[in-house]
Amino acid sequence: MSRAETAPAPADRRPSPLWTFGLLRSELGTTLRRWRTLALLGVLAAVPVLVGIAVRIETGDGSTAGGGGEGPAFLAQITNNGLFLVFTALAATLPFFLPMAVGVVAGDAIAGEAGAGTLRYLLVAPAGRTRLLLTKYATVMAFCVLATLVVAVSALIVGALLFPLGELTTISGTRISFTEGLGRALLIALVVAASLVGVAALGLFVSTLTNSGIAAMATTVGLLITVQILDQIPQLHAIQPYLFPHYWLSFADLMRDPVYWDDLVRNLGLQALYAAVFGSAAWARFTAKDISA
């Protein structure tokens, strides 16, 4: 490894904010142009379509959606108001589809560059390892927001086409206007995106441990599934509040009147903790890593 790849950038080559923005824009463009990313977004957009069509078919004969209380939260309310399809779709995709998509993108962030032999060329540019790692993480976080909005927008369109829209009833039984409901739907989408912060940091850390993008993606998704299983075992109730998916579905509390903030705050605090721990671990690993590819 040459000194050009390891030495810090000289003062006259220190990247400007405009250069950093250009790097972030380039990373976002590269990520969103990959067929793998487009396929993931396509699958996420298809979930609300399938749920909406299934509910429409099920209730076509006058039966009640939800199978007597089974299924994701809000499912039984979709036929009364299509906006509930947004909440149902987010509840259906959050346990697996959304975090899996984020885990794939995060796991490939560093390891994919190393496997393709482009990582050391990125480091020759006046970015520095810390700045490059932060740019990669920002790209993954942008994907978190985009993926969540894809689900929400797809659900809103399908809900508007298949079901009526209008005032809706909260979990607490109060009525709110469609505009307020739409605002809460947007807030819920942002909370769901923020709930993926921990998975993004975990995937980025795993990505710094290997030069194989496939291995990093598989490991991240495997860890996600393992933690999800641990969160469902009753005998492990003592540790479950510290597992990053434990409070994911607390976003439903935003549909209460008044809103219950306790679990929402716990969820966001837990995601911030995981981001700090695994983000620091990723930085420590990446800044000390021998880049040979």
- DSSP for 160-176, written as a single string: HHHS--S-EE-TTS-EE
What is the pLDDT of the chain when averaged over all its residues?
84
Closest CA to 169 of 76, 251, 91: 76
| The pLDDT of residue 140 | 94
Contact 156, 168 (CB under 8 A): no
DSSP at 242: G
| The pLDDT of residue 4 | 39
| The pLDDT of residue 11 | 38
Sign of CA dihedral 246, 252, 254, 256: negative
Tell me which residues of the chain have a pLDDT lower than 50. Answer: 1-13, 62, 67-71
pTM of this structure: 0.85
| The pLDDT of residue 169 | 85
Q: Measured between alpha carbons, how far is residue 130 from residues 111, 123, 204, 276 in Å?
A: 16, 10, 13, 14
| The pLDDT of residue 227 | 94
Task: Give the DSSP H or E segment for 266.
Answer: helix 262-288
| Degrees, nearest 5: CA angle 89-95-97 | 70
- In the chain, % helix, strand, coil (3-state, to 5) comes to 70, 0, 25
Gap between the Cα atoms of 215 and 233, Å rounded: 27
| Degrees, nearest 5: CA angle 270-282-221 | 65
| The pLDDT of residue 258 | 87
Task: Give the DSSP H or E segment for 141.
Answer: helix 129-162
Contact 225, 103 (CB under 8 A): no
**Which amino acid is located at 254 in the chain?**
L
Residue extents of the structural domains in the chain: 13-288
DSSP at 259: P
